[in-house]
């Protein structure tokens, strides 16, 4: 499907892609999704709706004048429980401007009734990943856009 869309897309096309690259390694998935976005923007120049969880792509394309970033909005309220960072989340099914300010995967996992022990461990690991990524971005800002052919 992706190959057909890339081969057939013109300036008059509307291309919609959701989660391209999922199911591969993070690096391969990001590279595939990034190369596809680059092709759609620079070669096809078509109207596209491209949904992704690869946040590094957002950083790469945020300043591109032909790209408008958006996210699915939600209402987040602090929970009355003792646990820090617990939130009640309501998905609004509305497209809002800009990037999503925060990931709410742990909240979604809570809605799916994962055990508290798993949620607590996931929250800890997620915070560690977030800190590592923040540290690595300040040392080496990401820019793979020009490397993708």
pLDDT above 50: residue 148:
no
SS3 state at 103: coil
Assign 3-state DSSP to the chain and report helix, strand, coil percentages, each to 5: 45, 20, 35
Largest CA distance in the chain: 54
Amino acid 104: pLDDT: 84
Looking at residue 83, what is its pLDDT? 52
Yes or no: say if 3 and 35 are a contact pair by the CB < 8 Å rule.
no
Residue 86 burial (CB count, 10 A): 15
Separation of alpha carbons 83 and 39, rounded Å: 45
Residue 125, helix vs strand vs coil: helix
pLDDT at 4 (0 to 100): 96
pTM: 0.71
Distance of alpha carbon 77 from alpha carbon 44, whole angstroms: 41
């Amino acid at each position: 499907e992706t190959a057909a869309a890339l081969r057939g897309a013109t300036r008059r096309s509307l291309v919609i892609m959701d989660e391209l690259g999922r199911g591969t390694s993070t690096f391969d998935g990001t590279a595939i999704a990034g190369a596809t976005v680059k092709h759609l923007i620079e070669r096809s120049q078509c109207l596209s709706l491209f949904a992704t969880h690869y946040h590094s792509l957002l950083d790469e394309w945020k300043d591109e004048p032909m790209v408008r970033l958006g996210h699915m909005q939600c209402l987040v309220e602090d929970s009355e429980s003792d646990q820090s960072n617990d939130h009640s989340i309501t998905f609004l099914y509305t497209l809002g401007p800009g990037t999503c300010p925060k990931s709410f995967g742990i909240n979604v996992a809570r809605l799916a009734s994962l055990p508290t022990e798993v949620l607590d461990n996931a929250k800890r690991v997620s915070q560690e990943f977030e800190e590592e990524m923040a540290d690595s971005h300040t040392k080496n800002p990401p820019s793979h856009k020009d490397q993708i052919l």
